[in-house]
Structure 1
Amino acid sequence: MSRTFIIVFVVCLLVTSVDVGTAQQQSPMFQTNSRHTGVYKTTPAYRFSGVKFVFKTGGPIRSSAALAQGVLFFGSGDGCLYAVEASTGKERWRFKTGGAVHSSPAVMDGVVYFTSRDGGLYALDRAKGRLVWKHQMGGDLPYANGFDYYLSSPTMAGAILYVGGGDGNLYAIDTRTRKIVWEYTAGSRIRGTPAVDENAVFVGTMDGYLLAIDKKKGSLLWKFATLGSTLKIEDFGYDRTALVSSPSLANGIVTVGCRDGFLYAVDAATGKQKWSNNHEISWVLSTPAIDDGKVFVGSSDAQFFQAVDQASGQEIWRYRGGGPIWSSAAVAGPLLYFGVNDGHIVAVDKETGVERWRFKTGDRIFSSPLVDNGMVFCGSDDGNFYAIEGTREPDPPAPSVRRAVFWETRPGFSGRWFSGGTDEWIRDYFKREGYEVIDAKGLEVLMEQEASAGSGSVVVFADNRAPQSVVKEESEKALLRKYLNAGGKIVWLGPDPIAWKRDSLGKFEGINYDRSVRILGIRYPGKSLEGIGWYNSTVTGEGKKWGLSGWGVGLGCVDPSQVSTVLARDEHGMAGAWVKNFGGKEGTGLVQLFIPRDKIIDLYHVKRVAEYGLGR
Structure 2
Amino acid sequence: MKKKPTSYKLQELFGLYQSGVLNKEEYEDLKSTILIPKTNVFDKKTSYRKTSVFLKKLTSKVLEYSTLMLDFLKSNISIKKVFNSILFSKLKWVLVIMVTSILITISVLYLTKDRSSPIEVTSTLWSFNADGYIDSNPILYEDVLYFTAKGRRLVAINTESGLEIWSWTFRDLPLKDPNVVNGVVYIGSLREGFLFAIDAKTGREIWRFLGDSSVYSRPEISNGLVVFGTDIGLLFALDVNTGREKWRFHGSSINSTPLIYEGKAFVGSKSSFYAIDIISGEKIWEIPAIGFLYGSGASPVAIDKNLYFGTYQGSLYCVAVDSGEIIWHYETEGRITSTPAIDNDYVYIGCDKNNLYAINRKNGRERWSFEAKNSILSSPVIHNNHVIIGSCDRNIYALNKKSGKLNWYFKTEDRITATPVISDEIAYITSMDGHVYAIDTKQY
TM-score of the superposed pair, with normalisation by structure 2 = 0.69
* Contact 1:208–1:243 (CA under 8 A) maintained in structure 2: no
1:95 aligned residue:
168
Q: Equivalent residue for 1:251?
A: 304
CA contact (8 A) 2:234 2:251 kept: yes
1:313 aligns with 2:364: yes
The structural deviation recorded for 1:187 is 2.7
| Aligned residue in 2 for 1:326 | 377
Matched, 1:183 2:248: yes
Deviation digits for residues 10-64 of structure 1 (CA, Å, limit 9, x no counterpart): xxxxxxxxxxxxxxxxxxxxxxxxxxxxxxxxxxxx9947212222224321211
State how far apart, in whole Å, the 1-side matches of 2:225 and 2:430 are.
28
2:408 is the alignment partner of 1:357: yes
The CA deviation at 1:242 is 4.9
CA distance in 1, matches of 2:125, 2:424: 13
Note closer, same or farther for the CA distance 1:133–1:344 as it changes in structure 2 (3 Å cut): same
For residues 232-267 of structure 1, what are the alpha-carbon distances to aligned partners after superposition, in whole Å with 9 as ceiling and x for unaligned?
xxxxxxxxx454421111111111111212111111
Query: CA contact under 8 A between 1:375 and 1:389: conserved in structure 2?
Result: yes
Q: Which amino acid aligns with 1:295?
A: V
- For 1:187, the aligned partner's letter is S
Q: Aligned to 1:341, which of 368, 381, 392?
A: 392
SS at 1:51's partner residue? coil
Displacement of 1:214 after TM fit? 0.9
Contact conserved, 2:133 with 2:433, CA < 8 A, in 1? Answer: yes
What amino acid sits opposite 1:211 in the alignment? Y
Equivalences for 1:110-189 in 2 at 5 Å? 110-118=183-191, 119-140=193-214, 151-188=216-253
C-alpha change, 1:379 and 1:226, in structure 2 (3 Å) is: farther
Question: Paired residue for 2:148, among 59, 70, 75?
Answer: 75
Corresponding residue number in structure 1 for 2:421: 370
Deviations 1:473-513, CA, capped at 9 Å, x for gaps: xxxxxxxxxxxxxxxxxxxxxxxxxxxxxxxxxxxxxxxxx
Judged with a 3 Å threshold, the aligned counterparts in structure 2 of structure 1 residues 385 and 226 are, in CA distance, closer, same or farther, namely farther
Q: Distance in 2 between matches of 1:359 and 1:218?
A: 44
C-alpha distance in 1 between matches for 2:311 and 2:156: 32
Query: Residues 354-396 of structure 1, C-alpha deviation per residue, up to 9 Å, x if partnerless?
Result: 111111111111100000112111211122222222225xx7x
Q: Distance in 2 between matches of 1:350 and 1:208?
A: 33
Q: How much has 1:89 moved relative to structure 2?
A: 0.8
In structure 2, C-alpha distance between the alignment counterparts of 1:131 and 1:102, rounded to whole Å: 16
Contact kept in structure 2, 1:72 and 1:85, CA below 8 Å: yes
1:424-463 to 2 correspondences below 5 Å:
none
Aligned pair 1:222/2:288, yes or no?
no
2:272 corresponding residue in structure 1: 209
CA–CA separation in structure 1 for the residues paired with 2:271 and 2:400: 32
Q: Is the 8 A contact 2:293 2:299 kept in 1?
A: no
1:199 matches 2:263 = yes
For the pair shown, the structure with the greater C-alpha radius of gyration is 2
Q: Is the 8 A contact 1:49 1:389 kept in 2?
A: no
Amino acid at match of 2:374: G
Alpha-carbon separation, structure 1, partners of 2:189 and 2:357: 31
Structure 1: runs of 5 or more not aligned: 1-45, 141-149, 229-240, 396-616
CA deviation profile, 1:53-90 (whole Å, cap 9, x unmatched): 22222432121111112111111234011000001111
1:283 CA displacement: 0.3
Shift of 1:225: 2.6
Q: What is the CA–CA distance in structure 2 between the aligned matches of 1:120 and 1:259, rounded to whole Å? A: 26
For residues 173-200 of structure 1, the C-alpha deviation after alignment (integer angstroms, 9 at most, x for no partner) is 2213432221111132x12111011221
Aligned to 2:320: 267
Partner Cα distance (1:356, 1:317) in 2: 15
Note the C-alpha offset of 1:208. Answer: 3.5
CA distance in 1, matches of 2:341, 2:120: 21
**Are the structure 2 counterparts of residues 77 and 101 from structure 1 closer, same or farther at C-alpha, using a change threshold of 3 Å?**
farther
| Partner secondary structure for residue 125 of structure 2 | strand
Tell me how far 1:290 sits from its aligned partner.
1.0
For residues 137 and 234 of structure 2, the distance between their equivalents in structure 1, rounded to whole angstroms, comes to 23
Alpha carbons 2:293, 2:310 under 8 Å: kept: no
User: 2:133 aligns to what SS in structure 1?
Assistant: coil
Cα distance per residue 1:278-337 (max 9 Å; x no partner) = 114x10112101111311100112x11011111111111111122111100111111111
What is the SS of the residue equivalent to 1:107? strand
Q: For 1:296 and 1:187, how far apart are their aligned partners in 2?
A: 28
Aligned equivalents of 1:374 and 1:81: distance in 2? 25
**One-letter identity of the residue aligned with 1:360:** K
* RMSD of aligned alpha carbons: 1.9
Offset, 1:159: 2.4
Matched letter for residue 55 of structure 1: F
Name the counterpart of 2:66: none
- Aligned residue number for residue 387 of structure 1: 438
Native 8 Å contact 1:208 1:258 kept in 2: no
Counterpart position of 2:86: none
Give the distance between the partners of 1:64 and 1:181, measured in 2 at CA: 27
- 8 Å CA contact 1:60–1:77 kept in 2: the answer is yes
Report SS of the residue matched to 2:145: strand
- Percent of aligned pairs with the same amino acid: 30
The aligned amino acid for 2:154 is: L
Task: Give the aligned residue type for 1:257.
Answer: G
Kindly provide the amino acid, as one letter, of the partner of residue 309 in structure 2.
Answer: V
Q: Give 2:127's aligned residue.
A: 54
What amino acid does structure 1 have at the position aligned with 2:213?
A: G
Whether 2:357 is the aligned partner of 1:300: answer no
Counterpart AA for 2:345: G
For residue 128 of structure 1, report the CA deviation from its aligned partner: 0.7
TM-score when normalising by structure 1: 0.50
* Residues 1:139 and 1:151: Cα distance change in structure 2 (over 3 Å): closer
Count residues with an aligned counterpart. 322
The AA in structure 1 aligned to 2:267 is V
Q: Which has the higher helix share?
A: 2
